[in-house]
Structures are given as C-alpha cells and as structure tokens.
Amino acid sequence: MSQSDPLHAAIPSPLPWQREAWTRLGGQWHAGRCPHALLLSGQPGLGKRRFAEAFVAMVLCDAPRQGLACGDCRGCKLWRAGSHPDFLRVQPEKDGGPLKVEQIRQLGGFVGRTSGREGARVVWLAPAEAMNVNAANALLKNLEEPASSVIFLLISDAPSGLLPTIRSRCQTVAFPAPSEESALQWLKDGGLQGSAARSALTVAGGAPLRALALAEPESLELRQQFLADLAQLSQGSSSAVTLAGRWESPGEGCDLTELLLYWQQWVVQLLKARSSDTGVDEQVGVFLQRLPGEGGEAVRPLFLFYDQLLQARQALSSGANPNRRLLIEELLIRWSRLYR
C-alpha cells in the first residue's frame, strides 16, 4: 500500500475516445451524485488508469477548471508529488502478485478518519481482480457500509474475476475499444502510422495504448519469436515441454499474462479469418492451412482453446499463484493437439 508512487509530471486528462464516459462521470461528480464505488473495466490498453488518474486529480483539486484539475492549487501539487493525504493507492506488492487481505484490512484507518482538507477521499485498487477471496470479502465490508465522502475506485482488465457482490455495489464505467479511425488518428499523432499502425492495432484487439507498446522493436521481436515457436509446434517439429521453459518468463517488457493476452488476440484473428471470405494476413493464412477440418468442426476447437487461455489469464491475475511452468506447458500441449 503506497501513497508515494511516481505519477505523471503533468496532470493527466482523458483520452479522446473517453470523452463520453468523462462527461457522464464528471457531471455526476459536480452534481454531488457520484457513487461511492466505481469499477473501471475494459481490456488492457484502453487507458483506464489514465482516466482514473484524471478523475482522482479532479476530485482532489481545490479549483477545477472546465471539468479538469487545475494543476496549480495545493491539492494538485500534493497529487503530483504523490503525497496527498486524501488519496490511497492499493496495489500488489510486486507485479503480477495478489492484492492481499492484510492490505485491504489496513484500509480501516484511512476510511475511518475525516478528510484534513474537508473534501473527498479516494481509494484506488488496481488490478481489482488480483484480490483473492479473503481480500474481496474484506473489501465487501467497506462497500456495504461506505464511509462518508470516500470513493472506491476499482480498475479491472477482467471484471468477471471479481465477486458478483462486489460488482453489484459498484457503478461500472465500461471502456470499449474506440473506432478504428479514432485509434489510428491517435497512433498517428503518437508517431505510428500506415501499415505498422494497422497491424499493431489488430494485434492489440483495437486497444490504442497497447498497440503503441506492441510496435516497440523489442515487443515485435518477442512476438515474432513466439509465433515462430507456435508454428514449429503446429508442425510437430518442437516440444511443448522445451518451449514452456522459454516462455514461462517471456522477458523484459512482457510477462506471462501479457503473452497469453497476445495469444488470445491471435486466436481471435484465426477465428475471424476462418469465418470470413475476405483476404487474410499471410501469417494467419499459414496457421489456418494447417488446421484440420472445415467449417464449424474446425472452428469449435479454437473457441475452446480461447476459453482455456482466458481461464489461464484469470488464474494468473486472481492471486491463486499457479505453477507458471505447468500452466504454459499445458497450453502449448493443447495448442499442438489442435493440429493433429
């Protein structure tokens, strides 16, 4: 639990495709009708955390301007410094780790006191799906009896991993992928355009921030190596056990959860290509040609495998701490069986 995490040097603002959600939530806040618990949900790479930072900054600002934090008041300066007394950030002690019950129980001291600045207090929990059952139940007690002027801000890439009782006590702010036109324009403004932008956006499932990260040379090289290994596995020229040793810890800039997300999005491309008469990417076509069967018989195993990837990602993010080597090995074995 920390209040000193480094934040953006400048006060963040919502991204272009978040304007509708921002206007709606900002209107609730300024009208005094903001819910005590918000759940920001959507796939990775859509800017949920940037939206959350902009919202927290606005809530803690002493004099918002045009619906955004002013950036100049004492509240904004404290926020930028990571030392605002009315903000508490709760996150795993290490990347990919769980949110522990001890962390949630320690909220009592923060939630129970009054604001020293006579304003709202904000508790940030991310990724919310990293709570185990005990932690989730401890949070539930806070949500059932909300303290005055406290806002719980839960951020989740996989809200289905949360207890239904927690989801039902939050107002969900859903973040769908923006239109391709909007996403490509944002990428162009960030220096990524043309076929490189379209390719990265496709792999990213339409999520612009993730597309920008995927276009980095290191990430691109890592993905190409992974696909090459999957291709060898589909041909029977490599061993799932051997490859599992390589990919249980993919490398800098990509953890196993990220790798599984990329794998999921690759399977989505295969499914779309299998069910469409339009031209397909050459690399996708190579994998499709090797798949046995036709029509529904060929598609059904891909759907099942997609579900298995989803379950594996949920296991990694739930705090269950599965054996990573066995998890990726089992998935690689299942992948190889698709081509038998």
Q: What is the pLDDT of residue 320?
A: 67
Give the pLDDT band (50/70/90) at residue 278: low
Average pLDDT over residues 179-196: 94
Q: What is the pLDDT of residue 8?
A: 40
Q: Model confidence over 6-41: pLDDT tens digits? A: 334 478 899 999 999 999 999 999 899 999 999 999
Q: What is the pLDDT of residue 171?
A: 97
Q: Which of 83-87, 103-107, 165-169, 289-293 has the lowest mean pLDDT?
A: 289-293
Euclidean distance between the first and the last CA atom of the chain, given in angstroms as a whole number: 49
Sequence-distant (≥ 6) Cβ neighbours of residue 331 within 8 angstroms: 260, 263, 308, 309, 312
Residue 225 phi, psi dihedral angles, 5° rounding: -65, -40
With residue 122 as reference, give the H or E element that holds it.
strand 121-125
Question: For domain 16-174, which architecture applies?
Answer: 3-Layer(aba) Sandwich (3.40)
Q: Which of 95-99, 202-206, 244-248, 295-299 has the lowest mean pLDDT?
A: 295-299
The DSSP bridge partners found for residue 254 are: 251
Residue 2 is which amino acid?
A: S
Is 4's pLDDT higher than 60? no
Is 115's pLDDT higher than 90? no
Could you tell me the two tokens for 67? 């619906």
| Structure-derived torsion over alpha carbons of residues 266, 269, 274, 278, reported in degrees to the nearest 10 | -150
Give the pLDDT band (50/70/90) at residue 104: very high
Average pLDDT over residues 137-144: 92
With residue 154 as reference, give the H or E element that holds it.
strand 150-156
Is 269's pLDDT higher than 90? no
Average pLDDT over residues 297-324: 84
Give the pLDDT band (50/70/90) at residue 271: confident
Write down the pTM of the prediction. Answer: 0.79
Q: What is the pLDDT of residue 94?
A: 83
The answer to whether the CB of 104 falls within 8 A of the CB of 114 is no
The total of other beta-carbon atoms located within 10 Å of residue 333's CB is 15
Taking the C-alpha atoms of residue 191 and residue 37, their distance in angstroms, rounded to an integer, is 37
Is 295's pLDDT higher than 80? no
Angle, vertex CA 83, rays to CA 35 and CA 318, nearest 5: 55
Task: Give the full edge-to-edge strand order of the sheet including 121-125.
Answer: 87-90, 121-125, 150-156, 37-41, 171-174
Q: How far is CA 8 from CA 2, 124, 125, 213, in A?
A: 16, 16, 18, 18
Task: Please list the alpha-helical segments (H only) found in the chain.
Answer: 19-30, 48-60, 74-81, 101-105, 107-112, 133-144, 164-167, 180-189, 194-203, 208-214, 217-235, 240-247, 256-274, 282-290, 296-317, 324-337
Q: Which residue has the higher pLDDT, 273 or 165?
A: 165
Instruction: Report the top-level CATH class of 216-337.
Output: mainly alpha
Sequence ranges of the domains in the chain: 16-174, 216-337
Residue whose C-alpha is closest to residue 161's, from 134, 129, 202: 129
